[in-house]
């Protein structure tokens, strides 16, 4: 780190200062770390894997400084007594996460209120969730969540793939799929706000516990007049194959008057709210009609 080598994670953590870059070599690491300074970059290697580390009963990485960048880190096996053990607990402002693989834990990322902008790119989240209240990622009242070029698969134990209370939630060019997981909603935006989902694949799987693929505004009444509220769902491939009824978009009564644009999407499978989205979208009865192979194949968008 900063031209100095360390033999263990604890010594490296203690030496961090503002603007540090810590490069972590290949290997398996079974302890976590707290990042307190700002403008820190944590750079992993092709085989940097943190397993089951939990700092202060929270997460493998507890980030308290601002403007942190983390790249090329694998993290798994995180559990804590509160059942919300995460790979990252974001407490400071602004996080950029790239080329991460977070899996088989209670939660991938848990971000506190007031954490600025959370950006996730080129990353994979898989087999995450716990007791219906931990999720692949759970962003509280931040300014903005941005997800691009990333994959969210098979959330478990009725967790969502993405839960965001941010003022703005932007999801682009990503795959969000239940596959065989017993997840809940693919994306849940309980405080409303600005929601954009664009150029992505959304797949509601056969074991999903919730019949709503997306949820909007279900935990606020009325919606907060101090922030802007809108929905744009454009140019996606949306596959609904839950056993039982399927409902594409659940919106609360408190948010029913929010501006909504749902267009240029391709819907595959049956859904009980299809009549609301006939204009500007295409509908296919099943995978075969769309030209897609058997479950669990997903259409390619070049990720």
pLDDT in tens, 172-210: 999 999 999 999 999 999 999 999 999 999 999 999 999
Indicate the pTM of the whole model: 0.97
pLDDT of residue 63: 98
Place of tokens 């580390």: 53
Q: What does the pLDDT average to over 156-181?
A: 98
pLDDT in tens, 63-108: 999 999 999 999 999 999 999 999 999 999 999 999 999 999 999 9
Cα gap 235→237, rounded to integer Å: 7
Cα gap 299→112, rounded to integer Å: 34
Domains along the chain?
9-290 (2.160.20)
Does position 225 have pLDDT exceeding 80, yes or no?
Answer: yes
Compute the mean pLDDT over every residue in the chain, rounded to the nearest whole number. Answer: 97
Does position 113 have pLDDT exceeding 90, yes or no?
Answer: yes
Quickly count: other Cβ atoms within 10 Å of residue 4's Cβ.
9
Reference 133, options 84, 76, 181, 185; nearest CA is 84
pLDDT in tens, 226-251: 999 999 999 999 999 999 889 999 99
pLDDT in tens, 142-156: 999 999 999 999 999
């Amino acid at each position: 780190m900063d031209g100095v080598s360390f033999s263990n994670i604890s010594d490296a953590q203690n030496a961090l200062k503002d603007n540090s870059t810590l490069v972590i070599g290949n290997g398996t690491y079974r302890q976590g770390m707290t990042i307190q300074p700002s403008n820190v970059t944590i750079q992993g290697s092709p085989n940097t894997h943190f397993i089951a580390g939990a700092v202060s009963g929270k997460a493998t990485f507890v980030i308290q400084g601002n403007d942190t960048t983390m790249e090329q880190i694998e993290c798994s096996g995180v559990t804590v007594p509160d059942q919300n053990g995460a790979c990252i607990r974001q407490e400071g402002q602004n996080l950029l996460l790239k080329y991460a693989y977070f899996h088989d834990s209670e939660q991938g990322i848990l971000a506190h209120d007031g954490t600025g902008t959370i950006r996730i790119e080129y990353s994979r989240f898989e087999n995450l969730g716990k007791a219906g209240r931990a999720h692949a990622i759970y962003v509280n009242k931040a300014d903005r969540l941005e997800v691009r070029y990333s994959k969210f698969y098979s959330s478990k134990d009725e967790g969502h793939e993405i839960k965001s209370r941010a003022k703005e939630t932007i999801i682009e060019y990503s795959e969000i799929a239940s596959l065989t997981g017993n997840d809940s909603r693919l994306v849940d935006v309980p405080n409303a706000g600005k929601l954009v989902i664009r150029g992505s694949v959304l797949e509601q799987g056969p074991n999903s516990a919730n019949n709503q693929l997306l949820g909007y505004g279900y935990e606020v009444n009325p919606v907060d007049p101090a922030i802007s509220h809108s929905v744009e769902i454009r140019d996606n491939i949306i596959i609904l194959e839950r056993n039982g009824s399927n409902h594409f978009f659940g919106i609360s009564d408190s948010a029913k008057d929010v501006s909504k644009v749902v267009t240029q999407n391709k819907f595959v499978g049956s859904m009980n709210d299809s009549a609301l989205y006939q204009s500007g979208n295409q509908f296919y009865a099943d995978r075969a009609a769309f030209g897609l192979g058997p479950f669990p194949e997903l259409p390619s968008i070049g990720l």
